[in-house]
Amino acid sequence: MYHPFSVAETLKTAWDIFKKNFITIIVYSLITFAITFVVGLLIAILVPSGNFYVEMVASFIFLFIQGYTTLGLYKLIFTVIDSEYYEFEIKQVLPHITMILSYIAVALIIGFVIATYNIFILSKLDKDFIWYKLADYSGVVIGIYATIRIMFFNSFVVDDRSGPIESLKQSISLTKGNVIKIIEAMGLIIIIIVLLVLLYFVLAPLAIFLFFILVYPFVNILLIEIYRKLVYSHQDVDDDVTETV
């Protein structure tokens, strides 16, 4: 039968998925953490500062690696959820090049919007005046709200193979009327991140390691579970595979 979107149930389901597939997810997280760290380190060592074009190419390479690892994690999570009753192959969790390009396109769109706001609004205001602070705080609030509305674009890119604009539109449509519930579901994650920030001041490397190995995968599992719940809610269909087996 149809199950309404429940914050408590979604958190529990995400945690159960994380526990059940802990080894698989941790191994993938360790590999991607190592790849991202090595690539970032090589770029920091080999790329000369001050050369705009070289830095742009290096940034694009890093963004490509980030897209590959992020979408790979999404494909892995979707696969372990959908493959509960059968084995899956490694090639099933490898993202397609079009997915990575969509990810990069969305990242560039977001970067363009932020840069435009800073250049044409914030930079035109005197920092000593209240209008600057008002515009700055308003930008933060709008940014947080916009992030919530488009936070499922990765899910649509992987699950539906949607393009950049289409995935953004789908995410905005999916989150309509559910912003409060999404904020409630992410509350636990915000608490964990705050604790890690506090830990960062005590032992920075450990905090970063825990974030990439534990918190980051669980956050994405939770996002995918919320995504699935909202999709099923829109379609008004069964969201529990065990009840249809």
* Higher per-residue pLDDT: 184 or 143: 143
pLDDT for position 98: 95
User: Whole-number mean pLDDT of the chain?
Assistant: 85
Q: How many other C-beta atoms can be found within 10 angstroms of the C-beta atom of residue 161?
A: 13
Distances (CA, A) of 10 to 17, 151, 234: 11, 16, 16
Instruction: Convert the pLDDT of each residue in 105-114 to its tens digit.
Output: 999 999 999 9
pLDDT for position 137: 93
Residue 167 and residue 45: Cα distance in Å, rounded? Answer: 36
Identify whether the C-beta of residue 48 lies closer than 8 Å to the C-beta of residue 54: yes
Instruction: Convert the pLDDT of each residue in 186-238 to its tens digit.
Output: 787 778 777 767 776 777 777 777 777 888 899 899 999 999 988 887 665 55
Instruction: Convert the pLDDT of each residue in 81-126 to its tens digit.
Output: 887 655 667 777 889 999 999 999 999 999 999 999 999 999 888 8
pTM: 0.85
pLDDT for position 97: 95
Q: Which residues contact 25 (CB under 8 A, 6 or more apart)?
A: 18, 76, 77, 80, 217, 221
What distance, in Å, lies between the first and last C-alpha atoms of the chain?
Answer: 12
